[in-house]
Each structure stands twice: as C-alpha cells, then as structure tokens.
Chains A and B, each alone.
Chain A
Amino acid sequence: MIDIGLLIFLVVVAVAVIHVRNLFTASMLFAIYSLLSAGLFVVLDAGDVALTEAAVGAGISTLLFLATLTLVDREEAPAIKPWRHHWPALLVVGITGAFLVYATLDLPQFGDPNSPAQTHVGAQYIANTYEDMGIPNMVAAVLASYRSIDTLGEGFVIFTAGLAVYALLSVPPRRRRKNGAHDKAAEKTGEKSHE
C-alpha cells in the first residue's frame, strides 16, 4: 500500500529534521515533510486538506522559516558528540509513547465504516449536505455554510496572530539589522494571504 510507504518516508524525514544541525537544511527537510504529508492526505481521501497543507504548510511556513533565517544564525549550536542523546528527554518520550501505543489498542480499526466517528453526525452531513446547501463539495459546505461562524472565529485568530507579529516586529529597533524591514514585509504577506 502507498499509505505505508509514505508513512515510512515521513518517519525518515522527521528524524532527519531533528538530526541535522544546519537550520537551512532543516527548513528544506521540513518542507519535504509537509509535502509528503499532503500526499498522504490525498491517499486518505482528504483532497481539500492536502491542498491546504501543500500551500500553507509546505509553502508559507517554509517561507516564514527562511525569512527568520535571514535574521538569526543559520547553524544550531554544535552537539558535543554527533549522536549524543539527551537521555532524560528520551526517557520521557519513551514512556509517553508507550502509554499512547497502549491506548491505541482501544481505538477502532483503521478504515472501519462502523466506528463511532463514522456513525454519528458525519453520516447526516453526508446525506443532507447537497439538499441543504447545493454544494457538491461537503468539506467546503461544512466549512463555509454550516460552520461559517466558526470559520469567522478562525479569521479572528489569524488576525490576532497577524497583529501580534506586527506588534513584535514594528517596535522601533535599537539594534535592528538592515535587512529587518524585509523580513517584516515577508511575514505580513504570509499572514494576509490566508486570511
């Protein structure tokens, strides 16, 4: 199954993102990770999500990371030894992961049409969307018609985030570097384009 191949690639790329010390390389690998997950969403029948992830996740967040790299150091502080691990962190992560894997055994099987997620309101939306809204795309209908006020709330969240970025970067800088203005412009266009 294509699904399994993509998931294995995702794990490999995720390890690489964490392992490399050059932040430019890490940003590029992060873009690849987003693109792979967009591919996975297509396989899992979520076309709209895949489009958004490819445009916003792989496009705009990579742009933001690169814009930040023009202002900060490109190299992370070097590790003492190449494969030195942070043992307490590894311990915490291992225990949390083990508990979560134990919890998955209670989840319904993957793709089961009778799982609770499928038999509740989801079925009603699938049955009634076209009569109610006249839009063949159910995701768009739920997002913009049934749940339009929630989407407006999302707009407020993004607006607030845009204001926060503006407030943080527009303070008259004492030690601002000369390419600072360029970064501010990049971040603001990133904000506006998905409002």
Chain B
Amino acid sequence: MMDVVLSYFNYWVVILLMMIGFYGVIAHGNMDKKLMALGLFQTSVFILFISAGKVIGGATPVIRDGVSVFSNPLPHVLILTAIVVGVATTAVGLALAVRINEAYGTIEDDLIGDPSHEPEEP
C-alpha cells in the first residue's frame, strides 16, 4: 500500500496543483490573478514531465567520471523551452491586462462595462 502511494505521489501532487490552478482560472475574475493561476497550472505540467524523466539512482545528465546512470535528458530539454515560452506568453497576457485597464479602468471581469467603473475623461 505504502509503495503504491509513494510511487504515484508525484503524479497526484501534480494533479492537485493543476486543479488548484484550474480553480483559480475559473473562480477568480481578476486578470492578474488568472494569469498567476495559469502559471501554477503550467509549473505543475513541468513537474509532471520532469518526474517522468527521473530514474531512481540516476544523476543529472552531464557526463563525468564515476557516473553511469543518468536521468532522461529529453524531458529536460522540452521543459527548458516550455519555461521560456511560458514567460513570453505571460508577458503578452499582462500587456493585454494593462491595455484593458487603460480602456475600462478595471481588470475585474465582472466590473468591465459597469458604468460606475468607467475611467473619467481628462
């Protein structure tokens, strides 16, 4: 029983983190918060991939003396790319949030179009 729990613990925590992020995206109206929740979701996917590449008793995949078992380098390469692209998309999302804030005076979903929150004309 304990063996089963230990061998799937990483996957289950990944799913828990993923669902926390998913809940944040659905339940929060603030766009900044939505992007953070999306970031939580994204990082949980990274952890899933890196977990899949781990070998028990393996080492970081850099060739050096005295090490013969390595973890799989391919998921690492994939996630390296994904992290950088993830930040680029976050930047675009935040830029959109800033523009929405300029146009509507708020980044809350529910308040956009609410006349009491229109920005005052200069």
Contacts and interface: CB of A to CB of B under 8 A. Distances in A.
B21 to A, nearest CB: 7
Contact of A96 (B22, B39, B89): B22
Contacts of A150: 81
Q: What is the predominant secondary structure among interface residues of chain A facing chain B?
A: helix
Contacts of A46: 50, 53, 60, 71, 75-76, 79
A61 B59 CA distance: 29
Q: What is the predominant secondary structure among interface residues of chain B facing chain A?
A: helix
Interface string A135-147: 0111100110001
B32 A113 contact: no
Interface residues of B, number: 85
B50 A60 contact: no
Interface of B: 6-13, 15-24, 26-30, 32-33, 35-37, 39-40, 43, 46-47, 50-64, 69-77, 79-81, 83-92, 94-99, 101-102, 106-108, 110-111, 119, 122
Given A97-B18, A110-B54, 20 more contacts: A11-B16, A18-B37, A30-B39, A44-B71, A45-B53, A49-B50, A57-B83, A57-B86, A64-B91, A64-B94, A77-B30, A94-B19, A110-B11, A118-B72, A139-B61, A147-B77, A154-B81, A175-B119, A187-B95, A191-B88
